[in-house]
A = this chain, B = another copy of it.
């Protein structure tokens, strides 16, 4: 059974299949899914983040809207560099999962590579307590991106 958030996510993605940029109205969408408007913000925040390759812009006031753009980077090297720069000295599990998911969606890594990487940056695998864990994760992931640049760049 899919959650409300999952359904809204699916709906937005289906819109993005026809067009890489779409405009939605928050209240209308909330109405369609019979939920509170801020639910839409929650979905955008958790599923359409920059790490996942989306840009969100919005405009308030009368005739306001939310614009969602799916970035499609043609040159992988650029994407890898960008992702690399998103990672600072620390990164949490959620963000790192988003980055790995992105690499998969852009065909830079295979499905099983995705699984392996997620396993590697998983908090239980690293097994340290914070903040050491987030620091190790950042290093692991940065090194992986470097390897990917060498291999697939």
Contacts and interface: CB of A to CB of B under 8 A. Distances in A.
Nearest to A4: B62
Interface string A115-132: 111111010111110001
A63 B3 contact: yes
A113 B144 CA distance: 11
Nearest to A112: B151
Contacts of A146: 119
A119 B148 CA distance: 10
A41 interface: no
Contact of A119 (B122, B143, B152): B143
The 9 closest A-B pairs by CB, nearest first: A125-B143, A119-B147, A3-B63, A127-B139, A119-B143, A120-B120, A112-B151, A125-B140, A115-B147
